[in-house]
Every structure is written in structure tokens, then in C-alpha cells.
Amino acid sequence: MTPANGADEDSARDPTPTGAGVSAARPARDPARQPAERRQAVLLGLVLLVVGGLAWTFQLRDPLVVDATPLDALPRELAGWHAQDVPLEDTVEAILRADHNVQRVYVHPLGSRIGVYVGYYGTERGGRPEHTPWVCYPNAGWTITAPRTLVVDPERGLRVNEFQVSQNGERALVHFWYRSFRSTGLLGGTDQVWDRFLGRLQHDRSDGALVRLSSSLAGEDVTVVRSRLMGFGQKLDVLLDEHWPLERPARRDD
């Protein structure tokens, strides 16, 4: 069959994009860029080699066993505040999957109350919680508003996440942060990942904890409650240095 445009059968069957039997020319590579590209490839290869070697080294090390006794010994009297233990429900503990939980309410003689929760995650647990206040409060029916970051103690590097929560007319102010045996004031995300990596590399441990404080806003100005939480949190964080859980290597055949 003769093509409609009058061309012969060979040119009609020509699979090239132009139909003229000539393939499109490839753009020439810039010679000036080739050394830089080679350096980048070598650098990437070295990074992958180092990361792979570190990961393999970590796998060969003995697992670490947690001794949370020091955390349980956190003082129940703190700057005039007296603590009451508030045990977690079994279902909540199963969801949190922490190595150790401390939950208390500290009561001031004048009637103010501060809820305290410390969830500790050892190196073998990954050093960080799977559930964070950003998720847990909404899942429990609370609405989060006015999020911000506060610097509580510049010398210690203590920063905290703050937000307000409300549910059925009840309002509260929440402060929380993450910390490890080597640093505090971690806000979550990249700073946690970097801290865990350095801890594992330098000290063979990457454990961490979530620290959360909360206090009711009923009948009080938010600035007053904020100041109360900041002062309490600063003192509590110093005590956590002194009562941080211990980790020791366990024999693999134990």
C-alpha cells in the first residue's frame, strides 16, 4: 500500500523520530564539570562506606541492658513541691513501649499542680518515643493551639516545645522536650537523630527520654503558668542529670 504522502515503503517504516534515518545528537558534556562530578562520586562512596562500617560495628556490639533504678529515685520533694505517683494504665504502657515510665503530680502548698511525665527509651529501644505529645493529645480528643518554642536555660541549652490544649472547656499549658545522657533541650527530629548518632559513636549508647510538664490554665494567666513550668522544668532537668538510668553491656548468650 502506498503511503498517503507519496513516500516509498522504506521511509514509511522508518522508526526514527525524524523519519529521515538520522538519530538526534546527544549534547556534549562540559569537560570542566567532569573532575567535580568525579570528586562528588568519590566523596559519596566514602560516606556510604563509613556509614556502612559504623552500622556493622554497632551490630557486632553487645546489646545494652537498662537499669532505671536512678530514675525512680527522682526526689518527691522539689523546691517546695510534693509529688504524688500516678501509675500509668497497662494499656497506655503497652502503647508507649518505653523501657521505664515515671508519672507524677507535684503539688504546691498554695494549691498549684504540675503533671510530670518522663518516658525513658534505652539504646535498644532506639532512644526515642514512637508516640509524641503532638500526636497523643489530638488522639485523646484535645485541641492544640498556640505552639511555640521557649529557651528555658541558655547555659544548659534547655529549650522546650510549648502549646495549649483544650477539651470540653478545660485548658492546660504543656511543655515538653527530649534529652539524653549527654544533652538536653532537644525539640525532636534532626537534633534527636544527630544526638543519638554521636552518642552511639562516642559513648556506645543512644538512649533518650521524653520529658513533659503540664498545668491547668483555669483561672490563671498563661504567663504565670508559663513562668511556673519554666522554673520547675529547669530544676527537674538538672535532677535528671543526676538520676539518669544506667546501661550496661549484656552477653549475647545470657
238's grid cell: 538538672
Average pLDDT over residues 236-254: 84
Which ranges of the chain does DSSP label H, i.e. alpha helix? 9-12, 34-60, 69-72, 90-96, 133-139, 190-203, 222-242
> Binning pLDDT at 50, 70 and 90, where does residue 21 land?
very low
Pick the closest to residue 183 from 170, 173, 198, 162 (CA basis).
Answer: 198
Q: Which stretch, 27-31, 66-70, 202-206, 218-222, has highest mean pLDDT?
A: 218-222
Model confidence, pTM: 0.74
> What separation, in Å, do the N-terminal and C-terminal C-alpha atoms of the chain show?
83
Q: Are 121 and 99 in contact (CB under 8 A)?
A: yes
Cα(128)–Cα(237) distance, integer angstroms: 17
* Cα distance between residue 32 and residue 95, in whole Å: 56
Per-residue confidence band for 47, with pLDDT thresholds at 50, 70 and 90: low
